[in-house]
Structure 1
Amino acid sequence: MVFWQRRTAATRGIERASMIRTVLAWAVALFVSFPFLYLATSGFKTEVEAPKMPPAFVPVPESLSGFPLAYTPTLENYKLILAGDFMPYFINSAIATLVSTLIVLLLATPAAYALTLPQTTGKRNVLFFLISTRFLPAVGVIIPIFLATRFLGLLDNVLALIILYTAMNLPIAVWMMRSFFQDLPADVLDAGRMDGAGTIQELILIALPMIKNGVLATAFLAIIFAWNEFLLALTLTTTKAATVPLYMISFMSAQGLWYAKMSAAGTLAALPVVILGWFGQKWLVRGLSMGAVK
């Protein structure tokens, strides 16, 4: 009887601790997601309601709009944005992001694998050179980049963004994928070599299938960095190749900020990355945690 009571008390303690952890996890999740929640709800408000403080988060019918923290949702902001010129900006961002990410993966994969091979010399120098390209902020080299782009005739051209986004994400991708390759079991690679696999076969047939989660994690981060990039797009594009971040600043005028329309545009701009992260979170977490526990 005493044993059963002790066991029941221990079970209750475990359940209580689990409940506390769950509540804390939800509290942290709500705190972290609050900016996006505020952005999304503001897109369904009028320009009068959007900047009000404290903000309203509860959508109600128009007949109940007088309640505290309540607002009447409207789709006018989204209709105006989708009926306007949002899609050309979105398409430019999608092309520059997806093409540059594909090139980054194609270049970073063999480079990272080569930097894990024991016969490769000067690996430390190469790795330091790659990461050193990220030491200087982009604004420090924006003038040479602008002059070189103008000399090549690539101003206001998506190709210029693809090249620069590739160069921007390539060092990080090489470092990430090298860490994934380093965590591969050496016995598996040695077995492939004993079976006569060459370096290319070893990479494609053995190594890549084993780190596919790491490849997806690298691609996801490259997509985020390219999709959100602002300075290069602002400096090198005007109309034909302008991206979504540039569309956002069009709501800043001499009359003030159009909060509701900007929020609606921001929600549409963030939605592709949010959806991608939601469906790919399992592979993203697995990829980023590869090798964390030995």
Structure 2
Amino acid sequence: MTATALHPSEKKPASPEPRSRPRGRRRRPANDKASWPVAVLGWLGSLVLFSPIAYMLLKSFQTETDAASPSPKLLFHPTLEHYRSTFQAGFWAYAGNSIVVAVVSTVLVLLLATPAAYALSVRPVRKTQDVLFFFISTKMMPVAAGIIPIYVVAQHLHLLNTVVVLLILHLGMNLPLAVWMIRSFLQEVPGEILEAAAMDGAGRIRIMRSIVLPLVRPGLWSTALLCCVFSWNEYFYAVNLTTTTSTLPLFMQKFLSFGELYTAQVAAVATVVSIPVVVLGWVCQRSLVRGLLFGAVK
């Protein structure tokens, strides 16, 4: 049988056009109902992690008698006496030393770690794995095992109780971490971009300064933030190599005593010491997240 042709006057019925959804509506994801338990668990986990900080902040506004009570007191008469005594006990001198040591050591770490990571990733040198293992092996030795020779050397160089010895030690403490982190960020830079820049006549220094560093800027910010936090919180070198010219972790030790009640005072000092780190992390949170996730999704 042959198919009969349609007469020109007969028109084939047009297929119905699909309905267009209103622009204002958005289709809800299929797993939207299952997302709220994850959100609830996330909030619960955040509250659990934040509870020690909230407890410390609560204790800092209490009197020593209320702070030393066995059961936590939520209803009390707040006081600012502990914060006033913190700033009157020489806080600013220790804070200035902490700022100098953290900032200067972090800048020096970035200046030294960036060329080293560039040489180990973009322009690999011979025996790269051996060099990387040497860097990370310096973090494997316990800090207490090397404090005696460090103390002897610092004593002969007349560096005890100075900011310079803390700068040198914080530089050595954070440099291996920075080299490994920056190298992981540099390995995610596409090689085609570097080859195109080299074909255009750009040298290695120009490529690193104008192309590589702007691409890995979030990674550099996250590395700087972590190194600054580690330097700010370092206590072991400060307590063994310095006395009066020291940083804020050693300032907190002045209020630790077994004969008197210093619970609320220590909570106030810890709150003040933690504020700069918290503010810095909040300001740099976008760069920190971008840096830690750099190259995770291609």
TM-score norm. by structure 1 comes to 0.89
* Alignment partner of 1:98 is 2:103: yes
Structure 1: unaligned runs, 5 residues or longer: 1-9, 57-68
2:105 aligned with 1:88, yes or no? Answer: no
Correspondence for 2:18: none
Question: Aligned partners of 1:52 and 1:189: how far apart in 2?
Answer: 64
1:59 aligns with: none
Structure number with bigger Rg: 2
Mapped partners of 1:22, 1:245: distance in 2: 36
Specify which structure has the higher proportion of helix. 1
2:114 alignment counterpart: 109
Does the aligned pair in 2 maintain the 1:251–1:257 contact within 8 Å? no
Secondary structure of the 2:67 match is coil
The answer to whether 1:27 aligns with 2:44 is yes
Q: Does the Cα contact within 8 Å between 1:176 and 1:218 map onto a contact in 2?
A: yes
Answering whether residue 289 of structure 2 is matched by residue 285 of structure 1, we say yes
CA–CA separation in structure 1 for the residues paired with 2:287 and 2:225: 10
SS at match of 2:296: coil
Match of 1:153 in 2: 158
| Residues 31-86 of structure 1: CA deviation (Å, up to 9, x unaligned) | 11111111111111110111334323xxxxxxxxxxxx322211111011112211
Aligned match of 1:255: 259
1:152-194: per-residue Cα shift (whole Å, max 9, x none)?
1000000110011001000000000000000111111111111
Is the aligned partner of 1:214 residue 2:214?
no
Q: Helix, strand or coil for the counterpart of 1:253?
A: coil
Gap change, CA 1:13 and 1:142, over 3 Å in 2 = same
Q: Which moved more, 1:185-194 or 1:210-219?
A: 185-194
Identity rate, percent: 44
Structure 2 segments unaligned to the other structure (5+ residues): 1-26
Q: Deviations over 1:231-250 (max 9, x none)?
A: 100011010x2111111111
Q: 1:264 aligns with which of 264, 268, 275?
A: 268
Alignment of 1:167 onto 2:172: yes
For the residue of structure 2 that corresponds to 1:251, the secondary structure is coil
Checking the alignment, whether the CA contact within 8 Å between 2:64 and 2:261 is kept in structure 1 is no
Equivalent residues in 2 for 1:169-248, closer than 5 Å: 169-239=174-244, 241-248=245-252
Structure 2 CA distance for aligned equivalents of residues 209 and 28 of structure 1: 35
- Structure 1 residues 16 and 257, CA gap change in structure 2 (3 angstroms): farther
Alignment: residue pair count: 272
Root-mean-square deviation over aligned CA pairs: 1.6
**Deviation string, structure 1 residues 82-139 (Cα, Å, up to 9, x no partner):** 1221111111111111100000000001110011134511211111100000011111
* 1:173-219, Cα deviation, whole Å (9 max, x unpaired): 00000000001111111111111111111111000000100000000
Partner Cα separation in structure 1 for residue 230 and residue 124 of structure 2? 33
Asked whether 1:46 is paired with 2:63, we answer yes
Pairwise CA distance, 1:24: 1.5
Equivalent AA in structure 2 for residue 86 of structure 1: F
For the residue of structure 1 that corresponds to 2:139, the secondary structure is coil
**Does residue 123 of structure 2 align to residue 123 of structure 1?**
no
- TM-score, structure 2 normalization: 0.87
Query: Amino acid of the residue matched to residue 279 of structure 1?
Result: V
State whether residues 104 and 167 of structure 2, in contact with CA within 8 Å, keep that contact through their aligned partners in structure 1: yes
Matches within 5 A, 1:7-26: 14-26=31-43
